[in-house]
Structure 1
Amino acid sequence: MNTSPSLVKSNKNFLLFWSGQTVSMFGSQVTIVGLPLTAVYLLKANSFEMGLFQACATIPFFYLV
């Protein structure tokens, strides 16, 4: 019986890539949730200021269009 080694064990570059992507995605999700919550709780931002905050967060995407 010939069993091939798993992809993770046989390819160190794949493991590094997969780990880096996992950390990156986790950090992005923390920023998406944590940054607005920080603005609300610590800076006592009201709804208008939160709208400005979200508008400023989307401005870079308009540059690409």
Structure 2
Amino acid sequence: MAGPSAPKQSVRLVQAHKNAGTELSAGSVLTVSASTADWLIRQGIAKPDNGPATPKPQTPKPTQENEQ
């Protein structure tokens, strides 16, 4: 059994997954033990999470044209 010092890993679900009676949708990010992450990835349920799937929108910088 893994203790509290077991390494954690973030994964992003690529399909819906039910865990302990809770339905999780595709795109959900979970932080789980490394062994659970490995199992989810091997089953094709998740992939390693490397941050947001889409870039954050950029706020346009003010220019003289759009300040008028």
Calculate the TM-score normalised by the size of structure 2: 0.28
Q: Which structure shows the bigger proportion of residues in strand conformation? A: 2
Higher helix fraction (1 or 2) = 1
Using the size of structure 1 for normalisation, the TM-score is 0.29
